[in-house]
Structure 1
Amino acid sequence: MYVVDVEATIQFYEQAFGFVRKFVTPEQDYGELISGDTTIAFAHIDLALSNLSKGYQQVNKEKPFGIELGFVVDDVLSAIEKVEQAGGTIHESVTVKPWGQTVGYVLDNNGFLIELCTSM
């Protein structure tokens, strides 16, 4: 995920979700979180520009991309509260789906969409 501030993004995910940083480069232009089998990584937007010769669509807080990270949590309302305390925002209010799953959508400190949901 290409971001303006790698360190601030790592801190957000640590505070909002309890992830632990795996590492951040000394230049603070790339960092990873310990998140099980799947690595969640952040790179500075300058790396995106150097890697992608055709450019890319930078995330913004106005309208999220049509892609999301999904985190299963025990208590969606409490998880959303932590996101807000860490500097994220609510994107869609909490709802209970017909199959009984509780779901809410938030934006991280960069504007990336995150689904918070109970297990099915």
Structure 2
Amino acid sequence: MRPWPYQRSANACHANAGAPIEFEVTHAFHPWRGKRFVLTTRKPNWGEDRVTFFDEDGQLRSLLASWTSVDEPDAFARAAAGLSWLRVDDLARLRALVDEVRSALQRRKGVKNNTPQK
């Protein structure tokens, strides 16, 4: 086996090693959403977990693995059953970031924060 980062992903293996592995593009805003492709390889590339495949024109392409169905859905995705696009912890981090940016902007302008505090 070749050393990291060129090792084959355990997630991309099947009991029948000769069977092609298909995946679907699942990213909500990607133009290929819903299209299926045959996995060529999966490995860290450009510092990210990526899948590579040949498109309809025979061109070798690459996408983030998280934008595809190559992995099983995580526990949140299974529990949300498609009803929630955002996780609570992600929303809380977003709120903290917005508050931080708002405070920094108000400090630059010399304006006090009039937002009610909890």
Larger radius of gyration: 2
Q: TM-score, normalised by structure 2?
A: 0.23
Higher strand content, 1 or 2 = 1
| More relative contact order, 1 or 2 (CA 8 Å, 6+ apart) | 1
